[in-house]
Amino acid sequence: MPNIPLVNLKAQYKAIGEEIAESINQVLEAQQFILGPQVEDLEIKIAHYSHCQYGIGMSSGTDALLCALMAIGIQPGDEVITTPYTFFATAGAIARLGARPVFADVIEDTLNIDPQQIEPLITRKTKAIIPVHFAGQAADMEAILRIAQRRHLYVIEDACQAIGADYKGKRVGSWGDIGCFSFFPTKNLGGYGDGGMATTNNPHLAERLRLLRNHGHQPKYYHQIVGGNFRLDALQAAILLVKFKYLENWIEARNTHARTYHQLFHKSGLAADAQQTGKVKLPAERRSGRHVYHLYVIQADQRDELKTYLHQNGIGAEIYYPVPLHLQGCFKHLGYKLGDLPVSERAARRSLALPIYPELNDQMLLEIVETIGEFYRST
Ligand SMILES: Cc1ncc(COP(=O)(O)O)c(C=O)c1O
């Protein structure tokens, strides 16, 4: 029986463990744990990589989003338009500031926010749009920015799943006013704990983000604005600096695996074609830029049974996301009901993420696709 987990961080650690230990040791020797040279080095590297002038290390992707919304001055009663098909933090950050998340449905094939759904939702209270680059593929930033510019709205990119993805030659995180990244351990660039980064090309916003992540004081103990402790750890930065050197190779490996999946699914007859006869709809890849395949999300018939069958046969698979955010209990007061955002609701019933980490090999991918084939033949 295969043993193919959804992610395999141990395999990655085996390859780079010694280098990581050396980098951690440098921090231990220096005994400087808060901000400092590793954080600054990482900020410069991630900003440059993401085609931005400024990078501000944050304690998590969640805190990067919260700080970004604070930096653009989101207030109680404001409205921020975003997608319901994302991790909770995207909308949670909006709600934590007393603002109202307003959900626009997604496009069926990419599961990214549908620009056409945005404009009708804009009111006098709307201040910003947060597109999410779902699974590692950029949202349609040109269309989103056209709306934002016309309606004088900020754009905060939730690039937490998409470091290194680009759109029309420009990296995610550089399209909007601020980009937010996560270094959660399972991300394409993941730390050994929580971490994040905000990027921007706007010096004024960079200054505000820097202040906000450190209690708003400048100089120390003289507080200009109310911020928090949203700082990235030096230890995490030291780990991420090592991993960053491998990121491009890892992204290439993920893309190779995605292509192999594509071929295997088509060869097996499982992939849905134009007549929708297959059992599995493969993730759509747009020509507008590079997908970084943080997740490989298929849409599957009998999704829940398939997930169980894969687990029983030693293959990891996970549902991103089982409940779209407009139907979450904590957002009941927003008044959404089942049927309001049908594309997201359908995706929540059908989507399943399969393993796509760099250390997989073709044999493992074949076993995954064959096991999926076995499941459909047996039902
Ligand atoms: C789309 C999205 N937004 C926000 C976050 C939050 O990032 P973090 O877990 O680093 O707080 C994540 C990841 O977990 C994410 O996938």
Whole-number Å distance, alpha carbon 197 to ligand 1 midpoint, is 11
Contact (Cβ atoms closer than 8 angstroms) between residue 152 and residue 127: no
By most ligand atoms within 8 Å of CB, the mutation choice from 157, 160, 297, 320 for ligand 1 is 160
Scanning 98-154, the segments in alpha helix (DSSP H) are 115-118, 141-151
Q: What is the pLDDT of residue 275?
A: 62
3-state secondary structure of 170: strand
Ligand 1 contact, 320 CB (< 6 A): no
- The closest alpha carbon to 156, from 142, 143, 167, 145, belongs to 145
Atom of ligand 1 nearest to the CA of 161: 16
Instruction: Give yes or no for residue 258 having a pLDDT over 70.
Output: yes
> Which run of H or of E encompasses 10?
helix 9-30
Res 2: pLDDT: 81
Q: What is the pTM of this model?
A: 0.97
Q: State the closest ligand 1 atom to the C-alpha of 195, by its place in the atom list counted from 1.
A: 10
Tell whether ligand 1 has an atom less than 6 A from the beta carbon of residue 89: yes
* 258 or 224, greater pLDDT: 258
> Rounded distance, CA 276 to CA 376, Å?
15
Q: How confident is the model at residue 46 (pLDDT cuts 50, 70, 90)?
A: very high
Given a cut of 80, whether residue 366 has pLDDT beyond it is yes
* CA–centroid distance, residue 183 to ligand 1 (Å): 8
Q: Is the CB of 101 under 6 A from ligand 1?
A: no
Span from the CA of 276 to the centroid of ligand 1 (angstroms): 33
- Residue 131 binned pLDDT confidence (cut-offs 50, 70, 90): very high
Q: Which ligand 1 atom is nearest residue 194's CA?
A: 10
Q: In whole angstroms, what is the distance from residue 100 CA to residue 16 CA?
A: 43
Residues 235-244, mean pLDDT to the nearest whole number? 98
Instruction: Quote the pLDDT of residue 276.
Output: 64
Atom number, ligand 1, closest to the C-alpha of residue 182: 10
Q: Report whether pLDDT(307) > 80.
A: yes
Name the token pair of 153: 């709205």
Residue ranges of domains in the chain, CATH in brackets: 9-104+111-244 (3.40.640.10), 247-378 (3.90.1150.10)
pLDDT confidence tier of residue 278, bands split at 50, 70 and 90: confident
Which pLDDT band holds residue 244 (cuts at 50, 70, 90)?
Answer: very high
Give residue 310's pLDDT. 98
Per-residue pLDDT band for 309 (boundaries 50, 70, 90) equals very high
Ligand 1 and 180: CB distance under 6 A: no
The mean pLDDT value of the chain amounts to 97
Q: What per-residue confidence (pLDDT) applies to 379?
A: 86
Ligand 1 centroid from CA 92, angstroms: 11
Tokens representing 55 are 């990078």
Rounded to an integer, the average pLDDT of 36-61 is: 98
DSSP, collapsed to helix, strand or coil, labels residue 298 as strand
Distance CA 340, CA 78 (A): 22
Distance CA 91, CA 62 (A): 10
For the chain, the distance separating the N- and C-terminal CA atoms, rounded to the nearest angstrom, is: 20
pLDDT in tens, 155-214: 999 999 999 999 999 999 999 999 999 999 999 999 999 999 999 999 999 999 999 999
Distance CA 83, CA 152 (A): 19
Q: Is 61 in the pocket of ligand 1 (CB under 6 A)?
A: yes
Please report, rounded to a whole number, the percentage of residues in the chain having pLDDT higher than 90: 97
Indicate if ligand 1 lies below 6 Å from the C-beta of 196: yes
Rounded to 5 degrees, φ, ψ at 332 are: -55, -40
CB-based contact 65:156 (threshold 8 Å): yes
Strand partners, 233: 34
**Ligand 1 in reach of 157 Cβ (< 6 A):** no
236 lines ligand 1 (CB under 6 A): no
Residue 200 corresponds to which amino acid?
T
> What pLDDT, on the 0 to 100 scale, is given for residue 181?
99
pLDDT score for 300: 95
> With 70 as the cut, is the pLDDT of residue 279 above it?
yes
Distance between CA atoms of residues 259 and 265, nearest Å:
10
Indicate the top mutation candidate among 69, 106, 161, 194 to test ligand 1's pocket, ranked by most ligand atoms within 8 A of CB: 161
Cβ pair 195, 57 in contact under 8 A: yes
Query: What's the CA-to-centroid distance between 71 and ligand 1, angstroms?
Result: 19
Q: Ligand 1, closest atom to CA 60? A: 10
Q: Which residues contact 70 (CB under 8 A, 6 or more apart)?
A: 97, 208, 212, 227
pLDDT band, residue 331 (cuts 50/70/90) = very high
Residue 36 has pLDDT above 70, yes or no: yes
- What pLDDT score was predicted for residue 272? 82
Contacts 24+ apart (CB under 8 A), 25-31: 26/238, 27/234, 27/235, 27/238
Which tokens sit at 313?
Answer: 């046969």
Any atom of ligand 1 within 6 Å of the Cβ of 194: yes
- What is the mean pLDDT of the segment spanning 321-329? 98
What confidence category does residue 29 fall into, taking pLDDT thresholds of 50, 70 and 90?
very high
Q: Is the peptide bond before 76 cis (omega within 30 degrees of 0)?
A: no
Instruction: Ligand 1, residue 89: give the atom nearest the CA.
Output: 4
Listed residue (28, 51, 52, 53) closest to 38, CA to CA: 28
Angle between helices 37-49 and 234-244 (to 10 degrees): 40
Residue range 342-353, pLDDT digits in tens: 999 999 999 999
Q: What is the pLDDT of residue 1?
A: 81
* Separation between Cα atoms, residue 375 and residue 50, nearest integer Å: 41
- What local confidence, expressed as pLDDT, does residue 274 receive? 61
- pLDDT over 90 (residue 375): yes
Question: With b meaning 16 or more CB within 10 Å and e meaning fewer, what string describes 242-260?
Answer: bbbebbeebbebbbebbeb
Spatial contact of 104 and 90, defined as CB atoms under 8 Å apart: no
What would the mean pLDDT of 323-345 be, rounded to a whole number?
98
